Amino acid sequence: MVLQHMRRNIHRYKWVLWVVILSFIPLFGYYYTASRHEAQTAEEVVLRLDGRPITRLEVLREMEALTSVFRPTSPEQRRIILQMAKDRVIETHLWRALADRLGVQVTPDEVQAQIRQSLEMLAQQLRMQNPKLTDRELQAQVQAVFEDFLRRQGFVQYADYERAVAEQLRIQKLQNLLSGPVTVSRDEVEQAYRQQYVTARIAYVEVPLSRYKDPTPTEKDLEPFYQVHADRYRVPERRKAGYLRVDADAFLTDVFVDQTAIEKYYADHKDQFMEPERVHARHVLVSTQKRSEDEARQRAETVRARLKAGEDFAKVAREYSDDPGTREKGGDLGWFERGRMVPEFEQAAFSLAVGQVSEPIRTAYGFHIIQVLEKRPPRVRPLSEVREEIRRSLARPEAIRRARAFAEELARQVQTEKGVSLARRAQPPKAVYVETDFFAPNELRADVPAPIRDTVFSLRTPGEVRGPVALGEGTYAIVQWTGTLPPTLPPLTEVRDRVAADWKEAQKMALARKEAEELYQRALSENGDLKKAAEGAALEVKEAGPFPEAGPVGELGQASDLVRAVFQAQADTVLPPIEVPHRGVVVAKVLERKAFDPKDFEARYHQVRAQVLQQKRQALLFSVLEALKANARVETLKDARGRDRLESLM
């Protein structure tokens, strides 16, 4: 699997560490560049998150970053990478949206300070690798690594890199704000210390289940096994819900906004609607990363000659360009303003006349042949163009208030009616009826928001109504418990495969336990010598540890029963046979057990406390993210043939 490949190829993470040092942004930082570079046409959009578009390029760049780390080799692994990329892009959008709602901002000085710090860290690392570097040589190496980093990460425009850093700093500020109040008690620190530093080391012989052939069960074997272990196969109570969804967006058109207010807002916030001088251009990039300087220059001259001869620019770009982000679009970069491109590229693009093709322009990325398609002078977007945008923005607070009041009144009405049917009380678009399928108390379902699930399982009587329940900013639900499937024990015919697999494991485990018991008795007679006890049994003596009280135990993994027995025993003790689920039976000898050391605990107290604090903060942020996901609306778009657009990335 992917994770196994990751563990085997941990050395590949050296490049990822350089990425972290340089950019201070995780791999999912790609999305911001994509959203700035690419026009979000209907065909490019593959997902909608709460109505906001997510483009194919955002997911693709995330996939490329993950692929460079995990190196998938099968369709199954590529599908996992696609899902990971999709999740990362969604998570980043959710954090950004929350930061927007809470007004979290960073200053340009903070961004530049972070970039300087990253470059200083890079310089320190390079200096450690080669202490003999002169200052000038060090500066040149830092510049080379930095430029290579920008190329690898797809930052054609340096300003996009700055924006990506700013966005990640904003998310970090938000996360610090959320997790700042977390505290850690001394007992929690001691527990964590014990898990890390109270350790044991063992020798062991495993009698694996794979040592035995699978037995073939009959119905007479399975029926009693199924009855004895019925709780394994019992399905918990499931419920279904119907709810009326009330969204503030449906009230926006009802809110009157005085034209004077719109005009005043426009006059007071004209800087929001300022568009600087912009150029629409396309380019062919001939990278110097793939070839020598002379080869790249010659290839660029060939490209320019073909263009000057009248060949189609888009066709030549698809054939020659090394820019993966624009090659398939005929080199089209879209519209951009000053400060978005590296200086050499910017100077050429803004100097060219419309339709003119440039000489090869050398930048850190290689040679560019640029053609300007259109130019726009600086302008302030006219009021006629932004009037509706301003109106909706000014109307939203009142729309949210009205949506809440509407939901409260609707909830009051339906809660007083006997045998009420929420479906009949729907008033689209202001109150839309939604019905779920059956779900369990702790089941995570994309079609069942967590507040709906939790509310339904807090109700006492079928048909009971509660609300309004907040689903997100400006979105409310009136929820009704509409159906129940009681806890059931499925008939054996429905779970036969599971029962048969469990029965087979139980039979092989019994054989392994019998053999392990004989091994244990031989070990006792040999004064605890496992090697002598295992002679002639074709079994290997292995060692594991040191491992903490929390495990895992080497190749055996999370063998909780074994860990518990080891930490209750003294050194040189041979333990009776212990089952390790799904693996086999183990006979172990405690070689060493390190007890709790009060002095060492005090010496490591602050270090361990910092670790626990970080873990608790991460757990809190994870729960926040899960709540954001539960309340988010993710729509996967389909192509003209009805297939998920994401499938094209496989």
SS3 30: helix
pLDDT above 80 for 433: yes
Residue 489 Cα to chain centre, angstroms:
36
439-442 contact pairs (CB < 8 A, 24+): 439/238, 439/239, 439/240, 440/236, 440/237, 440/238, 441/236, 441/237
Mean pLDDT value across residues 33-49: 53
Per-residue confidence (pLDDT) for residue 639, from 0 to 100: 63
Structure tokens of 193?
A: 């210390």
**pLDDT grade for 637, boundaries at 50, 70 and 90:** confident
Q: Of the CATH numbers 1.10.4030, 3.30.70, 1.10.3470, 3.30.2010, which one belongs to the domain with range 2-183+623-649? A: 1.10.4030
Per-residue confidence (pLDDT) for residue 21, from 0 to 100: 39
pLDDT above 80 for 189: yes
DSSP structural state of residue 340: S
SS3 578: strand
pLDDT above 70 for 607: yes
Is-contact 292 255, C-beta < 8 A? no
For 121-140, the pLDDT digits (tens) are 888 888 888 888 888 888 88
Max mean pLDDT among 376-380, 407-411, 540-544 falls in: 407-411
CATH of domain 238-260+384-485: 3.10.50
Per-residue confidence (pLDDT) for residue 291, from 0 to 100: 87
pTM: 0.46
Mean pLDDT value across residues 324-338: 86
Collect all residues with Cβ–Cβ distance below 8 Å to 386 and sequence separation of at least 6.
266, 273
pLDDT > 90: percent of the chain: 45
pLDDT above 90 for 308: yes
Q: How far apart are CA 415 and CA 404, in angstroms?
A: 16
Per-residue confidence (pLDDT) for residue 116, from 0 to 100: 86
Per-residue confidence (pLDDT) for residue 10, from 0 to 100: 33
Pairing verdict, β 278-287 and 332-337? antiparallel
Question: 106-115, 183-192, 385-394, 630-639 — which is least confidently predicted?
Answer: 630-639
For the chain, the average pLDDT equals: 85
Per-residue confidence (pLDDT) for residue 319, from 0 to 100: 93
Q: What is the 3-state secondary structure (H, E, C) of 223-279?
A: HHHHHHCHHHCCECCEEEEEEEEEEHHHHHHHCCCCHHHHHHHHHHCHHHHEECCEE
Q: Which residue has the higher pLDDT, 181 or 222?
A: 222
Max mean pLDDT among 36-40, 43-47, 489-493 falls in: 489-493
Task: Find the DSSP H helices in 416-495.
Answer: 450-456
Structure tokens of 218?
A: 């009959």
Within 441-583, strands assigned E span 465-472, 475-485, 541-548, 578-580
Per-residue confidence (pLDDT) for residue 426, from 0 to 100: 94
Per-residue confidence (pLDDT) for residue 35, from 0 to 100: 36
Collect all residues with Cβ–Cβ distance below 8 Å to 66 and sequence separation of at least 6.
27, 81, 84, 85, 88
**pLDDT grade for 29, boundaries at 50, 70 and 90:** very low
Mean pLDDT value across residues 375-393: 90
Q: For CATH 3.10.50.40, list the domain ranges present in the chain.
A: 277-377
**pLDDT grade for 180, boundaries at 50, 70 and 90:** confident
Pairing verdict, β 361-363 and 366-376? antiparallel
Per-residue confidence (pLDDT) for residue 154, from 0 to 100: 63
CATH of domain 277-377: 3.10.50.40
Bridge partners (DSSP) of residue 477 are: 245, 469
pLDDT > 70: percent of the chain: 91
Q: How far apart are CA 21 and CA 646, in angstroms?
A: 31
Max mean pLDDT among 46-60, 331-345, 450-464 falls in: 450-464
Per-residue confidence (pLDDT) for residue 156, from 0 to 100: 64
pLDDT above 50 for 33: no
Per-residue confidence (pLDDT) for residue 139, from 0 to 100: 85
SS3 381: coil
Is-contact 180 624, C-beta < 8 A? no
Per-residue confidence (pLDDT) for residue 57, from 0 to 100: 77
Q: For CATH 1.10.4030, list the domain ranges present in the chain.
A: 2-183+623-649
Per-residue confidence (pLDDT) for residue 78, from 0 to 100: 81
**pLDDT grade for 223, boundaries at 50, 70 and 90:** very high
